Structure 1
């Protein structure tokens, strides 16, 4: 609610933490400080004195300068024009700021997040008439935001009552009234194409639901081995150089979600430059349109103010909830939550709060849990089912998964894609460790795979993981005493595991064919490799030397199937399967005849 602005003065400055005297200010309220008008947020209150965290550098700001209370908490503008946008950590549009100020953005510059001049074609809902009751979240009409996204204009969640008037179909800017609602107290609310919502307050919904289908990313090790449901929570931990950012880019590009929100939280500038440069050039594989037609970027690099980094996560999740409330499946990628936690640590240190594990504040675990809990699949107020899938990268120092951010995150999330420096050093990408990773969604995902792809999915997945686990045990024996200590059957297990690693688990993000693998292709590759392994195991029992099998040319081609056939060439993949099995049948016949002659 809008209040009359309050006036006060700066008392003390400690980096991004500023002590102010501002009578009547409320905890959580946004303020503007100093002659530059820097934005901040009240985080502690004692009488008329308050502590505010400032989203920009406070250099050259002095005690005694004016402070203004804005009467509302840190909020975001939600309406048409978000998709395709690039914002900073407090929803300032970076392109607009560049136009106004160039490369060096001055402090205090705060253009409006959404364009007030652009006209949007509004089509009202057919089922709404004057004098009928209406609730928060009800759909007023639609605006075609991009070629891909139909933006559903909803009543703000805090407003309900009687619909007095609904604008006819036509072109409107964001400041024009498109509906009027009289609440039970008699107050008339003039609704526009956009509204504001506080970022630290989850948006309401009718009820929470369980996920029913996996998020298809096109990455075999994710979809087949460690599936993630739409509306679920996932962490991608890994040390520097293990490929966290590439994994997130691949998910952002190929996920079968309606909306993708990428939050670069405290990451290196060159990584975010890659995102900002490449995403606008990419095509959406599902619509053929530019990828930015369903993507929104929030960029907050490591050299930007630490407090804005802390806010960026909440800005991203609030926008994600807004599109969820329109009935969309939204994926939000946060890169990385470790940098967000470091921002919490710095602010708590300046506040003099008691540090606990590795200097992090005592409330780290509860903040992480509250953030991840905003993911989920829900029944919206008026737009059916919608979901927010949260994927947070974690950057543990030295790859130590026992450090606080990783360990607390691991207790909260349902899917864990652990990246390995050893695999990355061996050029095995994506470097996701099949030993440390897990998914709690396999049971539900199996129902989808059995219904839509093949009923053998769960059995084949379990067989492959068991073979990889056995491979780890046998590899330790080989390292100690050499391969001669193994039987032929054991050496064939090593060969089968190598086929799975190279033919299924490895996947190049840069290969035009292999960068994406459909669920059908994923299962066909896994099933083919395991069938070849089973055929080979039968031949081993007949007495075929394992070396002869390992040197078969068909195995070299099998390793390359993933990049020889794209997801549409399933018929060619089936033909290769027949060819490979015929080779094994020929060897089987040959050795069976030898056995008969010997007998």
Structure 2
């Protein structure tokens, strides 16, 4: 009793207490008669400040604050895949079954199912020498994912007691390890890990592998590397959530962790309803068999919203340590930053730009730094790719969250409201977006399809930039006054935008496009441009070159040529070559038809 602290003041999710000299910073505590979950965020002699991850309504001065002697942690083990959690890893389905539609206060830190029996295949035997991060058992968690039980961090020694393969719950001790000092360490089917601390690795490696998404503007123009960092900023209605859905559904990561951080309830309802129905095109199995969902809607406690990002990244690191490639979707980091701002205001901290706390840049950096392509403690290769949506108010990319995020990510996919309103999706603006991974992925492109994708992409980007400059002239004096080669640039740029960059998520053929087909499609456009330039130099009129028939066939190949019928693209390329040969022969024979 004398070790417990006493609440002295309450300000929303932030409470102050005294008698806290025995507490530690970042320690998880239980507050009041309902044992609300909180975290110590500052200490000053005997006084302390705690942020509470549940609704503090009904809490009063004089209530007790109880030690747990551990930081806020999550349970990591079988039962994560296919599950839906709140911001502090409490299972929403179980809560609904037990308590109804709303999460009551004081239900504790329930997480994984402790009664379910898992079919465990133990792969070590008594006498084996094992070390941290090594696999000691496996569980077929879903058809798509084998869950690997790892030796906990900091444990090394000889297996002295091991259970045979069989059915066990997560609390069962499946083996014991004796270290050099003779101390015994128990290995269960789960680990606990503090969410604010990155899980350790052996070595951070250079990113060099493409995260394939089947989305042309991503795979070719603004590629994402496995272990990379991506920001998707955009105003309301520009398609941030839809772009992340396409990532989640089609990218070739082994596991998806989707965090709905502070989003509207109807958006999260759509995710929770749609994801279980989606079929993974890579495996043909339900997408939920490789997905973990974390839902923290805007009406949930604000402190839990701040924690949800860390809960998600910790789960992602856990699967990375098994040797999996994990992609984490954070939708949206702006809501997370707003939670930081609200808590900072209640703490009466000195505000920085637009009221955000001064430490906003370091928090954003710390989050994105947890991405990476690594060698794990168990000598596996794994990666965590972070794809964060940003929701700048009014679509203003100069606001603090977008600006600071831009400093720490290597792929910036700026969504454009004008493109969205024109129904051009994905509404990624090719002039303001960028990827710093193109050169690092050059060799991987060659390994994947045997083609130099980067050089071809650069040539197409040059056409788009030239077209943007020419549009200023066109707006002033019209297109007719431009020389034919510049009019050809305008025509081909339109071909790139409509025929390649625009992609229909609801079309069976166009929703997912293999990388080789993407390359061949762009090569057809390049072929048209090169032959068109030669024709212009031979004084063939531009209106003959920009034939509506050819244009229709090129922009229509994304719908009309199936992904496994790539020979049709080669036939179209030959047809284009024949078209220009006929033009030239007609011109050489003495003139063209009017």
- Alignment TM-score > 0.5, same fold: yes
Quick one: which of 313, 325, 336 aligns to 1:317? 313
In the alignment, is the contact (CA less than 8 A) between 1:309 and 1:340 conserved in 2?
yes
2:267 matched to 1:271?
yes
> Of the candidates 282, 296, 300, which is equivalent to residue 300 of structure 1?
296
In structure 2, do the counterparts of structure 1 residues 22 and 143 end up closer, same or farther at CA, with 3 Å as the change threshold?
A: farther
- What SS is found at the alignment partner of 2:575? helix
Q: 2:463 aligns with which of 467, 478, 481?
A: 467
What is residue 494 of structure 2 aligned with on the other side? 498
Q: Which residue of 1 aligns with 2:54?
A: 56
Secondary structure in structure 1 of the residue aligned to 2:59: coil
Identify the range of structure 1 (77-86 vs 379-388) with the bigger mean alpha-carbon deviation.
379-388
Alignment of 1:100-179 (within 5 A): 100-110=98-108, 112-125=110-123, 128-179=124-175
Change (3 A) 1:197 1:22: farther
Matched residue, 1:224: 220
Q: Is the 8 A contact 1:542 1:592 kept in 2?
A: no
Match of 1:436 among 432, 438, 441: 432
Alpha-carbon distance between aligned partners in 2 of 1:455 and 1:564, rounded to the nearest angstrom: 23
CA separation of 1:5/1:459 partners in 2, compared to 1, >3 Å: closer, same or farther? farther
Which residue of 1 is the match for residue 535 of structure 2?
A: 539
Q: Do residues 351 (structure 1) and 352 (structure 2) align?
A: no
Cα offset, 1:178, TM superposition:
0.5
Please say if 1:89 is aligned against 2:64.
no
Instruction: Report 1:173-322 matches (<5 A).
Output: 173-322=169-318
Contact 2:117 2:169 in 1 (8 A): yes
Cα pair 2:527 2:573 within 8 Å, conserved: no
Closer, same or farther: CA 262–5 of 1 in aligned 2, 3 Å: farther
CA deviation after TM superposition for structure 1 residue 130, in Å: 2.7
1:513 aligns with 2:482: no
Which position in structure 2 is the counterpart of 1:423?
419
Superposed, 1:345-384 pairs within 5 Å as 345-384=341-380
Other-structure match for 1:98: 96
- How far 1:75 moved relative to its partner? 0.4
For 1:154 and 1:249, locate their aligned partners in 2 and report how far apart those are by CA, in whole Å.
31
2:69 aligns to what? 71
Match of 1:453? 449
Q: CA deviation at 1:532?
A: 1.3
Asked if 2 retains the 8 angstrom alpha-carbon contact of 1:211 and 1:232, the reply is yes
Could you say what secondary structure the match of 1:562 adopts? helix
Q: How many residues align?
A: 591
CA contact (8 A) 1:25 1:48 kept: no
Q: Distance in 2 between matches of 1:69 and 1:183?
A: 30
Distance of 2:481 and 2:309 partners within structure 1: 53
CA distance in 1, matches of 2:452, 2:59: 66
Structure 2 residue aligned with 1:36: 34
How high is the TM-score relative to the length of structure 1? 0.96
Superposition pairs of residues 564-579 of structure 1, within 5 angstroms: 564-579=560-575
Moved more, 493-502 or 422-431: 422-431
Relative to structure 1, the CA distance from residue 361 to residue 533 in structure 2 (aligned partners, 3 Å threshold; closer, same or farther) is same
Q: Distance in 2 between matches of 1:454 and 1:500?
A: 22
Q: Which moved more, 1:428-437 or 1:58-67?
A: 58-67
Output one character per residue of 1:502-522: Cα deviation in whole Å (capped at 9) or x when no partner. 010000112221111110111
Structure 1 portions without partners, runs of 5+: none
Instruction: Quote how far apart the aligned CAs of 1:185 are.
Output: 4.1
Task: Give the Å deviation of 1:397.
Answer: 1.6
Task: Note the residue ranges of structure 2 that are not aligned, 5 or more in a row.
Answer: none
* Secondary structure of the structure 2 residue equivalent to 1:583: helix
Deviation per CA, 1:327-356: give whole Å up to 9, x if none.
000001111111111111111111111111
* Shift, 1:186, TM fit: 3.3
**Alpha-carbon distance between aligned partners in 1 of 2:463 and 2:299, rounded to the nearest angstrom:** 46
- Give the TM-score normalised by the residue count of structure 2: 0.97
The 3 A distance-change label for structure 1 pair 418 and 381 is same
Q: Over residues 178-234 of structure 1, what are the superposed CA-to-partner deviations in whole Å (9 max), with x where a residue is unaligned?
A: 011223443322211001000011111111101121100111001100111101111
Q: Greater shift after overlay, 92-101 or 420-429?
A: 420-429
Q: CA deviation at 1:465?
A: 0.2
> Equivalents in 1 of 2:561, 2:288: separation in Å?
28
